[in-house]
Structure 1
Amino acid sequence: MATNTATQDHPEITLTRRDGLKLAGLGLGSVAALGVGVGGVRAVTNGAFSAGSGDPYDLWHDWSSMTGIERVAAAGVLACNPHNTQPWRMIVDGDTIDVHSDPSRRMPLNDASGREHFAGLGCAVENMVIAAGSAGATSQVTLFPHGPASDHVARIALRKDRARQDRDLAAAIPHRHTNRGPYTSAPVDLSGFTEQSSRIEGANVLWIAEPTTREQLGRLYVEATKAITADTAQSTEAFSWFRSARSSIDKHRDGLTLDAQGLSDLALFAAKLLPAQSRTDGDAYWVKATREVHTATAAAYGVIVVDDVTDRSAQVNGGRLLARMHLTATALGLGLHHMNQITERIDRDTASGNPDVFSARWAALLGRPASGGLLSFRIGHPERTPGLSPRRSLDDVVAG
């Protein structure tokens, strides 16, 4: 899921809030000196000393000790989802969980077709299925029980069973985080994903690891990123989900943050000392990071493919498979970073009536029609561990 943030990553980072301060020229003593006075106040305000702790992060730390239906519902809240909008509402009634879309969390400019929104709901559904299975319960999932136009996306009926399954994936739930940092040059053995690739009916994974095709796809990602940043309305909408100050994180408990950008410890600390970056400066850095980090260090790309990317059930099922891919990557010690700039531009141009400049090239690289490529991501061996993303509490999203 595309990452339009106020700060991005670089393998040998020269992070700036206005792309002028070069950390390579800052010694540790200089950075420490910035920690006093105004810089020190900013460090506290921006959470330099409280990253990954406090109420917005409690669910990551508490999940493993939870039990019963609460544990299952919490697994859904911890699922990967586009731009960390957390698009779900849940109703728990006995052993049944009803998953509803929250339309207020749609991004109509960056996700004009709704594919990311409903895929994120699918990720939540599958996280709950996996959590329930590891506890010895089977899940009967019914998609759109009141029809595809309804916000009632799924009903999960749980039934106790002796068999326990998906234990490795369930164990990965509290450790799964999108890794936007640099990856090493080591190749990835994709055979570890084979078992999961066909687990969700109607969705599959297409891998792009051949160097030439991978490089061509990387260039297309960069071009799409530039197109998003050149579209003021699309860029502004995405930037509205960036939470810079700790007070904003505590208030919203969603969106993208500095902590989740895969920065080195030194770069992250310095970023929190400096004044907040503007949208245009953040966009420029995002383009640079996409070119010099994200595409430059991707060992392979994965694309979730379905029959029709506009079909709501296909979107949800694609998200269900994406959740399995991300948890599998986590269990294997791999980094995974959702990258949907290309499809976001395809949908944006289609909705705006503009010429579609990406579908034909997207289809050529996939070897199939663009209408089948739902979501995409890069994968590799990460150089560093990503930070936690904020999450809303169960009380915020679950009724029952």
Structure 2
Amino acid sequence: MSRRSAMKLVGLGLGTIAAAGVGVGGVRAATNGAFSAGSGDPYGLWHDWTTLSGIDRVVAAGVLACNPHNTQAWRIAVNGDTIHVYSDARRRMPLNDASAREHFAGLGCAVENMVIAAGPAGFTAHVTLFPDGIASDHVARIALRDGGTGQDRDLAAAIPHRHTNRGPYKSTPVDLGGFTEQSSRIDGASVLWITDKAAREQLGRLYVEATEAITADTAQSTEAFSWFRSARSTIDRHRDGLTLDGQGLGGLTLFAAKLLPAQSRKDGDAFWVKATREVHTATAAAYGVITVDDVTNRMAQVSGGRLLARMHLTATSLGLGLHHMNQITERIDRDRAAGSLDVFSARWAAVLGRPAPTGLLSFRIGHPERTPGLSPRRSLKDVLTT
């Protein structure tokens, strides 16, 4: 074991791995999915998507969309050649997403994934947002018609390969020219790139501070931890949320994490803060911020999510890693909802160079050192409703 690997194990609280015992450790490794990562029913849609056709292929693309915390906040109904996307309020995170910006942005990601998949599948897609009014849970109606185009073929091909990459990125600069065409594709949303070293360092410090604030807030931390699926049985049952496989760990460290009992919430929080400081912000080649006119507007939230989906698929098609990082805006919304002092908005605005209520979502990108793990997804039958 290299010194670097050993230090990572210590950082995870796994320095006593040898004490687990081979027999007990082997049982725990199996229980926690050390030998079945990325396989089985929770991951079937990633592997099967390319074999699907017609409307099933389009709907499945929506289920495979990026979405904050992997809450998969959608319910989907199909009526003939029309797809209806609904918000599932049971999948809200009111403490970590007090304004519901992430909830509705995730729904926008699903909508845009379906639009992108429609063309190569032989359809044109006509989208109507909130057809029953802005207060309705009916988020979008997607009418499919025959006559697809190849305009989004490259992005569609990236759908089964798009995964959030939380691991370290290389120091190689990122050429953002490949994002130009997609950056203006969604009305009402745009991308602000932060590439200057000083600005990146300033934003990095803000991310770390926001992460520390979330972990110090017991209620917010507890809600976030409730979406972490550690045991394989939990992954099989829920087929959503975050997992060890998606944390960007190296092979040895990941196996060791599954060998020992699941971490406590406090240990997990400590690892998250450490990773934010020493990996996520330390290796970000650039940051992107999805901006809109008003982050509290439902239409803007969905539109921002649609653009985010295009950004993530573009990154995948270019061989880049993308990692959603929304700690700052989560704390802004949390402080306002709780009536606490807002300690982040002014500094968030200073980094953006524009008012804080225009910065909807943010992410880091770079050339990844590791291939990201797959996230669990519900099946079509679990998502489709009448």
TM norm structure 1: 0.93
| Counterpart position of 2:327 | 341
- CA RMSD, Structure 1 to Structure 2 (Å): 1.5
CA contact (8 A) 2:76 2:383 kept: yes
- The residue number in structure 1 matching 2:190 is 204
Residue of structure 2 in register with 1:276 after alignment: 262
Indicate conservation of the 8 Å contact 1:14/1:21, yes or no: no
User: Taking structure 2 as the reference length, what is the TM-score of the superposition?
Assistant: 0.97
Give the equivalent residue in structure 2 for 1:97. Answer: 83
Shift of 1:13: 6.8
Deviation at 1:161, TM superposition (A): 1.5
Shift of 1:125: 0.1
The total of aligned residue pairs comes to 383
Q: Which deviations, in whole Å up to 9, do the C-alpha atoms of 1:150-191 show, x marking residues without a partner?
A: 100000001111532200000000000000000000000001
Percentage of identical aligned residues: 80
My pick for the range that moved more, 154-163 or 221-230, is: 154-163
Deviation of the 1:12 alpha carbon: 5.5
* 1:291 aligned partner: 277
Name the CA shift for 1:337/1:12 in 2 (closer, same or farther; >3 Å): farther
Read off the aligned partner of 1:283 and give its amino acid letter: D
Give me the whole-angstrom Cα distance separating, in 2, the residues matched to 1:357 and 1:275.
37
1:187 alignment counterpart: 173
For residues 12 and 321 of structure 1, do their structure 2 counterparts lie closer, same or farther at Cα, with a shift above 3 Å needed? farther
Correspondence for 1:50: 36
Q: 1:393 aligns with which of 372, 379, 386?
A: 379
Question: Which residue of the partner structure matches residue 132 of structure 1?
Answer: 118
Residue 21 in structure 1 maps to residue 19 in structure 2:
no
8 Å contact 2:321–2:368 — kept in the other structure?
Answer: yes
Match status 1:150 vs 2:136: yes
Deviation string 1:256-303 (CA, Å, 9 cap, x unpaired) is 000111111111111100111110111111111000000000000000
Q: Do the aligned residues in 2 keep the contact of 1:63 with 1:74 (CA within 8 Å)?
A: yes
2:248 paired with 1:262 = yes
Residue number in structure 2 paired with 1:177: 163
2:66 to 73, 80, 89: 80
TM superposition shift of 1:16? 4.5
1:218 aligns with 2:204: yes
CA contact (8 A) 2:58 2:121 kept: no
**Separation in 2 of the partners of 1:384 and 1:371?**
34
Q: Which residue matches 1:3?
A: none
Mapped contact 1:17–1:277 kept (Cα < 8 A): no
Taking a change above 3 Å as real, the CA distance of residues 13 and 256 of structure 1, as seen in their structure-2 partners, is farther
Deviation at residue 18 of structure 1 after TM alignment: 8.0
Q: Which amino acid aligns with 1:242?
A: F
Structure 2: gaps (5+ residues)? none
Indicate the SS of the match to 2:83. strand
How far does residue 14 in structure 1 lie from its aligned partner after superposition? 3.2
Are the structure 2 counterparts of residues 38 and 147 from structure 1 closer, same or farther at C-alpha, using a change threshold of 3 Å?
A: same
Contact 1:17/1:275 (<8 A) preserved? no
Q: Which moves more between the two structures, 70-79 or 274-283?
A: 274-283
1:167 aligned residue (145, 153, 173): 153
Q: Which residue of 2 aligns with 1:107?
A: 93
For the pair 1:307 / 2:300, whether they are aligned, the reply is: no
Equivalent-residue separation in structure 1 for 2:218 and 2:161 (angstroms)? 35
How far does the alpha carbon of each residue in 1:123-152 deviate from its partner, in whole angstroms, 9 at most, with x for none?
000000000012232111000011111100
CA distance in 1, matches of 2:243, 2:326: 18
Q: Secondary structure at the match of 2:33?
A: coil
